[in-house]
Structure 1
């Protein structure tokens, strides 16, 4: 190892852009010398065959996002195989070379990527310090996927592998995995007959095909069994399957459906609730090929399923699918990369439909998997609306925030079973909208959302321009409205209104999985709705304006998804099921709910976003930091010619003691944010430019804080495809 090899490292690697190697210039010069083939290290013999180990060190910093070469001592030759965990000496500062190694520097974990006969690095190589375990956990398929994810999200390979490979448990490695079971018989279609081409989709999977579909599931509990049958059909072809769901409750339902359909031992359940040792044991069974099917939450998107035949994601619009740790990938996009990389089938399912799903169908990459309208009408509840004018005339609504229609629906529903009441979470802050027609107020320059400042003026939340003469392009009105609705009192109000009826709550403090089918009021926040035995008799969706009016590009799409998720737990109209939504009936998401047409809503949203240049038609990145640091970072970017920078705009100051969200400023510090937008086909160039600039910045600053935005002075936070750009 050269004494001038910058701050870190054991030797040369894959190479990187010159601007990232400001601290490694001497290494680059020495790499032009004849290649070295190490034979000894500190007098100890090295491996005779392939004595060089190429190692990916566990340093999630972009300017070190490459491989480093180390010598393989003969004593580690047998265990030092590609894919194993190793420990290497990685210097924390400049040092002198003595007997083939750098003095100083601590031990750091890493993965052995490959063995080579020679190194591109001309200087002396440090040796592997330890093989942590002879268990190969990083195969070439997983490594390739991790690299693709890192490149897409402008992140480091080491950070992605921290998400992809669970922490080691020695006891789990010592336990042998069971022998793989033979493929099962192809399942019967079951309730897939309800969908046009549903049986053909299963047949294609069972015959070894790779169909790709966007599935709009009918309401009711059958979705988990339908997913299980898709997995069983894939297993019948001798291939593996992977299903990613948003939370542990959904994973448990698919787990139960698979067990009932196929029996024990044919699939693994990967969730955080299982605990580190059990989860690692299940993960090892998948990697070793003992189990060919996986059901799990977000982290399972990287599960190393052998001979992958199907990847499926349920409810891809749920924000739980978006990873909070760097580089913050989304499960849907990771599974899309896997489908392209492995040439396997793809299934995106949910009761609703996201704009991304509509885009996949419009592009022809996936086919729609939907039920006919007659089948939809038989499966869905009756949906009724209560608008602002109705509330203004309604004495009951003014007294208790429940209109007369809602009272009637509750009373009638309680005669036959439980009634669900969905209320928005605290913290929903709606954006500005036209007071007459409720159309969102947008900036004339970039179409971003308009926000009201303390001074009373209007500003764009994207580009920061002030708007002094706004008028509604839909109806011509000049008045705006905003409304913040609290939901804490709902359970108390209902308890007073119906004193003889038990009231159950499900939310942040306690999330219920199921409730009995007996009469009761169940008050829940979106996403926490428990399943009722036999289905709910009725449902109330309160304070719809607070959900539709949030300052978020996806506000309408997300409101419809949450409404449909709650309404899907209600009995069909033929069995008396009724849903009352308290929201303006003319709003597009409300109309889509009444017609039960989430696909049509997604298609219209996609067309509107294409016209305005919004994601997913365009690609976006968010960059945040102090004003000085952000300006310097934007000035160093070599963006594609078509890129458009919106902003910067100030971000709200994080109050002391409050949990800090990714991309938010540290408490008390003032940050600004800019959005960078590129047209279709330029997303890879945008990610590469961001990664290059961030790597150069980190090399100059010498720390991970420069990329992760962890509060260090001058930190810059970068996120590609941010879920919230409101």
Structure 2
């Protein structure tokens, strides 16, 4: 205890003695690989590197590569993953100890850790953000559950590969899988193909060679179809489903089943792109143009790009399929990185429905002068009436709701809420219009431009379309699919199925006809990918229709000369994708160029751009577009380089971000490389 006469030096020595007496002596350090290199859960770019820690002797057995640990970092206990164990460290200073092994389960395998690092570098992100996407949260009870298998289950492999018979080069691809090689292919499926069965059969071939397969579907409905096909081909225990929709417990259980080698085949949505499949031999993805593959969390990776990196780094086979093609797919084929699996034109014509555009001929225009302007021209009614004689008819409407957007009857000015400025809409056939933002009724609305109180529809939604068709075709069942009311399948009985794009149910035996309405609306979206997305939606819908030889017909309501519509008429997804890639190359847009969208507070974006120009290699061909004000406080800019300088751009973007975080400058700049939506 201090005395009144003690000197300052004595007081200091006394305090140090007390402090040391209260500090627990560290445990002994293990002699075998005493240093652990750890990826600490820190999202700051300037700290995106592994850190070395000492391994206490009592944690040596549990602190293996891939295990979750707790470490002291910047005065806090943070989570981390052990990346490797070493004999010594390059760090000159004193090393801290691992505080705790959260779980000895080695959840971050070396292959997945390497993939996470590559994805972070590809998207100018940090490793910790990617590992959060790759490894689901821990559930101790699930880890404690008894292991249900001690070795990989041998799937019940079907010997039939009939789904691949229309494609001349498919046998070579499958033979390469059997030989555990790494073929890479772009599969353009024929209309009506059972893509899920094709994926399951390819996975079965891979599993029969003793290797694992990872199959991705865009959404829960497609995943159910894939699961049904895998159950038929591989058996119910021959695969595991990994999806965020499973819920935390079930997802972690499926993750551990794959990690522990209880199955060779994993299927899932984008959440499964990092699944720890043992001895991975095949990665496959269906319909890569679907925007659900784009991760909404930093660093915003796309599942297609994750699988491309995985196929390259793990030297496994790659298969990308779809009824349509994206510009990125066309670029892969053009570069020679992947080969093409496509049927002969005669086979495609035999499988495709007959596709027409309303008002495409002079004869039709002479009979119905309003064919090109009417929303439901006479020919569309005729095709629907004829189709209802033999089965269900699909009607695709781009917008959900009843009347989702209203305009003035006289001057066509948009009708907006007088309280908040939101768009006015109608949600049913009776009652006043209401605001789509605040929900207030607009019974006394008056146009501020011309004073008219009358309003009309700017866009007709699926519900209003179903109502109109119900009056036009009395006695027939009308069903809608979209939003919260999604139909997976429908019977082969005559009915009108009104859906929004992407919500089309599969009809038993195929649809007898399809009406694709308001095609202009899909093409009019202010987005670089609007034509590509529209064509993808139309091909996916038309592929559900019976072949022309069985009477299957598709009518598109739009401008007959429009290139996207003509691509569907000719059933040429490959031709449209090649043309789209060529146009983007001319405009220097992705995937012909590397783009990075930078969004944030105006001053922060300006500072970021200044640093980017200083740090960027002058030979990289950097070009800055903008910045453009999004509102009073936020701006957006685009950094662009040639494709060959993409890695340089990503690295420099991260350096600029790290320079800002090191100085703790105000304002956060969001970096998104090759955004799905751009415009």
- Partner of residue 603, structure 1: 578
Q: CA deviation at 1:682?
A: 0.2
- Partner of residue 680, structure 1: 643
> Where does the alignment leave 5 or more consecutive residues of structure 2 unmatched?
1-22, 406-456
Q: CA deviation at 1:181?
A: 2.5
Alpha carbons of structure 1 residues 188 and 203: separation in structure 2 relative to 1, 3 Å: farther
Tell me which of 31, 48, 57 is aligned to 1:65: 48
Q: Tell whether 2:647 aligns with 1:647.
A: no
In 2, distance between residues paired with 1:184 and 1:539? 38
Q: Tell whether 2:63 aligns with 1:84.
A: no
Q: CA deviation at 1:581?
A: 0.6
Q: Is contact 2:358–2:372 with CA below 8 Å preserved after alignment?
A: no
In 2, distance between residues paired with 1:208 and 1:243? 17
Q: Tell whether 2:231 aligns with 1:259.
A: yes
Aligned counterparts, 1:205-604, within 5 A: 205-387=177-359, 394=368, 401-425=375-399, 485-488=459-462, 489-604=464-579
In 2, distance between residues paired with 1:588 and 1:152? 34
- Cα distance per residue 1:651-686 (max 9 Å; x no partner): 2x5xxxxxxxxxxxxxxx632211111112100000
Alpha carbons of structure 1 residues 613 and 484: separation in structure 2 relative to 1, 3 Å: farther
In 1, distance between residues paired with 2:389 and 2:102? 63
In 2, distance between residues paired with 1:238 and 1:183? 10
Q: Tell whether 2:35 aligns with 1:52.
A: yes
> Where does the alignment leave 5 or more consecutive residues of structure 1 unmatched?
1-39, 92-104, 431-482, 654-668, 703-712
In 1, distance between residues paired with 2:359 and 2:264? 51
Q: Is contact 1:177–1:288 with CA below 8 Å preserved after alignment?
A: no
Provide the alpha-carbon RMSD of the alignment: 2.4
- Partner of residue 424, structure 2: none
- Partner of residue 152, structure 1: 122
Tell me which of 8, 25, 42 is aligned to 1:42: 25
In 1, distance between residues paired with 2:45 and 2:400? 37
Alpha carbons of structure 1 residues 43 and 131: separation in structure 2 relative to 1, 3 Å: closer
Alpha carbons of structure 1 residues 264 and 509: separation in structure 2 relative to 1, 3 Å: closer
Number of aligned residues: 596
Q: CA deviation at 1:106?
A: 3.0
In 2, distance between residues paired with 1:173 and 1:396? 66
Q: CA deviation at 1:125?
A: 2.7
In 1, distance between residues paired with 2:539 and 2:475? 29
- Cα distance per residue 1:393-433 (max 9 Å; x no partner): 95887998311011111111111111111111369999xxx
- Partner of residue 419, structure 2: none
In 1, distance between residues paired with 2:278 and 2:502? 33
Q: CA deviation at 1:722?
A: 0.9
In 1, distance between residues paired with 2:671 and 2:367? 49
- Partner of residue 714, structure 1: 667
- Cα distance per residue 1:11-31 (max 9 Å; x no partner): xxxxxxxxxxxxxxxxxxxxx
In 1, distance between residues paired with 2:366 and 2:55? 78
In 2, distance between residues paired with 1:158 and 1:177? 31
In 2, distance between residues paired with 1:414 and 1:426? 23
Q: Is contact 1:183–1:238 with CA below 8 Å preserved after alignment?
A: no
- Cα distance per residue 1:359-394 (max 9 Å; x no partner): 111111111100111111111111110259989995
Structure number, greater radius of gyration: 2
Q: Is contact 1:382–1:579 with CA below 8 Å preserved after alignment?
A: yes
